[in-house]
Amino acid sequence: MDRGQPDENTVRAALALACRAPSVHNSQPWRWELGAHSLHLYADLARNLPAIDPLGADLVVSCGAALHHLRVGLAALGWKAIVHRLPNPAMPDHLAAVEFEARQPREPHIALAAAIPRRRTDRRAFSSWSVPEGIIDQLVRAARAEGVEAHEVVGRARSELLAAVVRAAEAQESDPAYRAEIREWTGVYPGATAGVPAANIPAGSRQYGDLRLREFAPGELLQADNRLLGQDAGSLLVLSTSSDDVLSRLRAGEATSAVLLEATSAGLATCPLSQPLEVVETRELVRDQVLGGSTCPQLVIRVGWAAFNADPLPATPRRPLVDVLTRQEQK
């Protein structure tokens, strides 16, 4: 990098944080190109999951989460990310071009960056303690700061959302291609660089109160207290946008990252839920019955307090930086 730009070690440090972002089944469907004065984010279409994510929405949301993680990492390292989203209409997989501007880091930037290596997707039952309204409001504000709406789903709307989860699961589990992809990407062997390891998948029941989580490959993660299976007081937030195009999904991914990091900083456990939005019929059901047809749902996020005696979750694997970063050819 030239003078007045972050050096390569700084960019690599920020990218290491960016690549800790959550992604659909830990597929990590992104790649980066480093130029002389900029960094470029591309969707890695070779890592799309066509049976699980036929709309390609999960892939773009995943990349948006990585983009926000990058912004947070750069801010903590003293650089503001100037982001140009979808900079090249002729290349739809080119999701963002990032330029840099020196900026003194502030305490909130450092706190969010510190949450990145601590954040986990926790698929276990949460405790019976409700999330305080003040923290929910904080998470809603974090999403709105990214241009995305967030709603806590309660009452009748929650029942409609849970019905959509069940219907989506029935539709997907009847599809042999879907079942094959789930087997490929979950319960992965030790040493894998992608996918969800068995150590991060709960063993036994995935019915938590009125919510049933997606069926994965058999897991090894024990519940902290099986009594919580019927007492889980986790809240459900739906992130939504005014449109349902690639830019909206990218923004929704950035908002997802913002909500997850804020929740982690507040001590909450989190788990993104995309299943009811992966089937066209149930995506429309969530739009119409949960959101009143006003906005387009992009992701559901489950938040709550982990059980008091829950063991720390292991980090899921990540692809090495050499696999996702290339240098832009100089002309």
**pLDDT: is 1 or 165 the higher one?**
165
> Quick check: helix, strand or coil at residue 240?
strand
Residue with tokens 């830990």: 26
pLDDT tens digits, residue range 149-202?
Answer: 999 999 999 999 999 999 999 999 999 999 999 999 999 998 999 999 999 999
* 145-161 burial code (b ≥16 CB/10 A, e <16): ebebbbbbbeeebbebb
Residue type, 249: R
Closest CA to 302 of 273, 263, 277: 273
The arithmetic mean of pLDDT across residues 9-20, rounded, is: 97
The arithmetic mean of pLDDT across residues 12-30, rounded, is: 98
Strand ranges, E, within 148-293: 149-152, 186-188, 196-197, 207-208, 211-212, 235-241, 269-273
- How far from the centroid of its chain's Cα atoms is residue 310's Cα? 22
The arithmetic mean of pLDDT across residues 299-310, rounded, is: 94
Global confidence as pTM: 0.96
In the structure encoding, which two tokens stand for residue 235, read together?
Answer: 């809240």
pLDDT at 50 over 60: yes
The arithmetic mean of pLDDT across residues 31-47, rounded, is: 96
> Which residues does 308 contact at the CB level (< 8 Å), separation at least 6?
127, 224
Give residue 92's pLDDT band: very low, low, confident or very high (50, 70, 90). very high
Q: 208 - beta bridge partners? A: 211
> Which residues does 185 contact at the CB level (< 8 Å), separation at least 6?
25, 26, 27, 49, 52, 194, 195, 196
Give residue 330's pLDDT band: very low, low, confident or very high (50, 70, 90). low
Closest CA to 211 of 158, 259, 263: 158
Looking at residue 147, what is its pLDDT? 98
pLDDT tens digits, residue range 191-241?
Answer: 999 999 999 999 988 899 899 999 999 999 998 877 778 788 899 999 999
Looking at residue 37, what is its pLDDT? 92
Looking at residue 112, what is its pLDDT? 97
pLDDT at 142 over 90: yes
In the structure encoding, which two tokens stand for residue 213, read together?
Answer: 């989580």
DSSP code of residue 127? -
List of domains in the chain: 8-118+319-327 (3.40.109.10), 133-304 (3.40.109.10)
Q: 149 - beta bridge partners? A: 240
pLDDT at 91 over 70: yes
Looking at residue 1, what is its pLDDT? 47
**CA dist., res. 62 & res. 106, Å (int):** 26
Give the CB-side neighbour count of residue 59, counting CA atoms within 13 A: 25
Looking at residue 3, what is its pLDDT? 57
**Mean pLDDT over all residues of the chain?**
95
User: Beta-carbon neighbour count of residue 106 at 10 Å?
Assistant: 10
pLDDT at 84 over 80: yes
Looking at residue 122, what is its pLDDT? 97
